[in-house]
Amino acid sequence: MSSISVGVLGATGLVGQSFILLLSSHPFFRLTTLGASPASAGLAYSKAVENKWKQSTCIPSSVQAIKLHECKPEHFSSCQIVFSGLDADVAGDIESAFRATNIAVFSNAKNHRRDPSVPLLVPLVNPHHLSILPHQQSLHTPPLQKGFIVTNANCSTTALVVPLSALQSRFGPIDQVIVTTMQAISGAGYPGVSAIDILDNVVPYISGEEEKMEWETLKILGGISADGKSFDNHSSHPIKVSASCNRVPVHTGHIMTASVKFSKRPPPSIDEVLKAFDEYVPPYLPQSHPSFASSDFSKIIPTAPPKAIHIHTTPNRPQPLLDRHLDKGASVSVGRVRECGVLDVKFVVLGNNVAIGAATSSVINAEIALARGYI
């Protein structure tokens, strides 16, 4: 596949750094342009982040000398794609400006997630929602030929909806979900939660997080209209989601406990649920696409994990420290699958919040969009 020029907005932040690591060695996305605040414009990337680099590996040599630009479309004219790691307080207008200049935007920010024409994409769950992009482009005057915005979901929602999608696709509608999260401090960005607040402590509140989980789940697991112009937000079988979100003193990896009630009566057995998790295949490519061998998948969607859900059978797994880096953080882990005394089934979910919960999702989304002809 020929190389495609891409850029990163908010390149000096934590999410931007994750994009840098993923894209610097990508087989066909060629990282050429980096954007940051006006204060960093003109600096070489290595100089701008010399006191801010928070990754466990060194700054890639291919990126160190790239000069930073302000996040303005004119500086990214050579890019077909930009990945946005911008903070929500500035992301909305900037991302819209890039879309208007016919650049495809894959965003980690929350600003456009509620937009009725913007896909809220978890690549392991709902890539078919990309089919709304022609409608999104048609809403502009004149209609856009190449520009669009795709957002990824909240990091905790992303981990939750993968096993829920496996259950829904096998057993039909889900009625109720009760989820309690224990979310890592890296999810708060940098500098994030102060040490005096989180050490030896659990903070039982994360602003806006519970609401995001409760409505994002409906948009992601719902369908899209036959005319490709709207999301149904699961209106035909509304899912009641109750989320309780907590910040815990773990660096990376959001872990959560979930209980689920099915519409199906009697509900599936635990063995059936385990089989559904184990056999879940993410719908990366359209149904009309011919089958590919696993080696072909790795060429077309190289960042995607070979398996979406890893099942842990030992009673004390998954754990963030032990399991967050499976498949480079691109998959989710599920364990302690058992009957629920109140609903039907309960289990533990672990997702890497800085990988599949952030930059990794955006990169896979872009790979899928390319494979489906939207880029």
Q: Please name which of 303, 289, 291 lies closest in space to residue 365, comparing C-alpha atoms.
A: 303
- Catalytic annotation on 245? no
140 half-sphere exposure, CB direction, 13 A CA radius: 19
> Would you call 253 helix, strand, or coil by DSSP?
coil
Mean pLDDT of the 155-171 span: 98
Omega before 286 cis (within 30°)? no
Q: What angle do CA 217, 218, 220 make, to 5 degrees?
A: 65
Mean confidence (pLDDT) of the chain: 94
Q: How confident is the model at residue 292 (pLDDT cuts 50, 70, 90)?
A: low
- Catalytic annotation on 289? no
Q: At what angle do helices 155-171 and 209-221 cross, to 10 degrees?
A: 40
Instruction: List the catalytic residue out of 155, 245, 310, 312.
Output: 155
> What are the C-alpha distances in Å from 143 to residues 16, 107, 209, 353, 370?
30, 21, 34, 35, 20
At which residue do the structure tokens 């940051």 appear?
A: 36
Mean pLDDT of the 249-263 span: 97
pLDDT 10s digits, 96-109 = 999 999 999 999 99
Lowest-confidence region among 65-69, 209-213, 281-285: 281-285
Q: Are 261 and 344 in contact (CB under 8 A)?
A: yes
Q: How many CB atoms lie within 10 A of CB 263?
A: 14
Q: Please name which of 207, 125, 218, 144 lies closest in space to residue 176, comparing C-alpha atoms.
A: 218
Domain segments of the chain as ranges: 4-154+359-372, 155-351
Q: Are 98 and 147 in contact (CB under 8 A)?
A: yes
Fold of 155-351: Dihydrodipicolinate Reductase; domain 2 (3.30.360)
Q: How far is CA 143 from the centre of its chain?
A: 27
pLDDT 10s digits, 53-90 = 998 899 999 999 999 999 999 999 999 999 999 999 99
The pLDDT assigned to 287 comes to: 46
In the chain, the amino acid numbered 26 is: H
46-76 b/e (C-beta count within 10 Å ≥ 16 → b): bebbeeebeeeeebbeebeebebbbbebebb
Q: How confident is the model at residue 112 (pLDDT cuts 50, 70, 90)?
A: very high
The pLDDT assigned to 282 comes to: 87
Domain at 4-154+359-372: CATH architecture = 3-Layer(aba) Sandwich (3.40)
> Would you call 34 helix, strand, or coil by DSSP?
strand
Strands 148-152 and 120-121, by their bridges, are parallel
DSSP string for 289-355: SPP--HHHHHHHSTTS-S-SEEEE-STT---HHHHTTGGGGTSEEEEEEEE-SSSSEEEEEEE-TTI
Torsions phi, psi of 246, nearest 5? -130, 145
Mean pLDDT of the 190-216 span: 95
Q: How confident is the model at residue 1 (pLDDT cuts 50, 70, 90)?
A: low
Instruction: List the catalytic residue out of 69, 112, 129, 254.
Output: 254
Q: How confident is the model at residue 295 (pLDDT cuts 50, 70, 90)?
A: low
Residue 70: its H or E element: strand 68-70
The pLDDT assigned to 294 comes to: 54
In the chain, the amino acid numbered 7 is: G
Flag whether pLDDT at 249 surpasses 60. yes
Q: Which long-range contacts (CB under 8 A, 24 or more apart) does 21-24 make?
A: 21/55, 21/57, 21/60, 22/303, 22/359, 22/360, 22/363, 23/83, 23/363, 24/60, 24/62, 24/63
The pLDDT assigned to 240 comes to: 97
Mean pLDDT of the 36-48 span: 94
In the chain, the amino acid numbered 333 is: S
Q: How confident is the model at residue 288 (pLDDT cuts 50, 70, 90)?
A: very low
> What are the C-alpha distances in Å from 52 to residues 16, 177, 190, 252?
11, 39, 9, 18
- Residue bearing the bigger pLDDT, 45 or 293: 45
Handedness of CA 367, 373, 374, 375 (dihedral sign): positive
DSSP state letter for 93: H
